[in-house]
Amino acid sequence: MIVIIFLICALCTLLAWRGYRKPAFGFFGISLMLGVIWFAHHITSHLAINL
Amino acid sequence: MNLITIKKVEYIFNMLAVLGISIVLMMGFIFQFFLHELPCPLCLLQRVGFTLIAMGFLFNLRFGLRPSHYAIVLLSAVYTGFVALRQVSLHVIPGTGNYGSAIFGLHMYTWSFIFSVLAIIVTTIMLGIDRQYEPAHINNTQYKKYVHALFALFFIITLANAISVWAECGWQECPDNPTGYIHSIS
């Protein structure tokens, strides 16, 4: 899962480098969202409390 | 301070920020490959956070100074701070152990939290300088080669991170306490 986030980040960097601002923004959003989802998954699967 | 000077200061700040984050990420590799300290899932998420922070600075360098690019930095720094704070909270109680070695007495997740908070404070101050957004012709040619070099460096670091995560965890969830690589890089 985290490998996918890094690959999207690399794609985002490449798009920004080549001058594609909006696609780069989109891929940034996707990678941040995936990072947040993965962090939320980590927290909910490790905390022994009821949220 | 005139407008051109303000813009130059902002460009140099953005370049130094990308360089600083690249050094932080490369330090992670030094600990991983030379000291054989495998990164845990939360450590990897902090690396993701730093990569996303640098993205905002790179956008500023490539597309010009805009508040939306600083917003990327702030959002990513808040994310990185939360992940780092979660890891600090796992080890903050005496007797709960720690993860990895300490640098100047503080563990890497603590440094990660400090850097995130610093990124938030410094970026908020820098984005608050209104005059940088005023249109002005600035000769960027002297910075272009440095910007391309930073993009190349950062692209390689991000790709190297992807390969190292794949070697450590493959496509599935990373183990909480990794003990070795599941794929051989060499």
> CB of B118 within 8 A of CB of B110?
no
B86-99 residue pLDDT tens: 999 988 888 777 78
pLDDT at A51 over 60: no
Q: Do B161 and A6 touch (CB under 8 A)?
A: yes
Mean pLDDT of chain A: 90
Residue type, A29: G
Are residues B45 and A43, on separate chains, in Cβ contact within 8 Å? no
Q: Using alpha carbons only, give the angle B171, B24, B144 rounded to the nearest 5 degrees.
A: 100
B79 to A14: CB separation less than 8 angstroms, yes or no: no
- Chain B, 102-141: which have a CB under 8 Å from a chain A CB? none
pLDDT recorded at residue B179: 81
**Of B55, B51, B175, B163, the residue nearest A42 (C-alpha):** B175
Q: Which residues of chain B have pLDDT under 50?
A: none
pLDDT band (50, 70, 90) for residue A42: confident
Q: CA-to-CA distance for A19 and B123, rounded, in angstroms?
A: 23
Asked if the Cβ–Cβ distance from B51 to A6 is below 8 Å, we say yes
> ipTM of this model?
0.91
Task: Note whether B50 contacts A: Cβ–Cβ < 8 A.
Answer: no
Q: Which of A1, A2, A30, A51 to substitute to test the interface with B, most B CBs within 10 Å?
A: A2
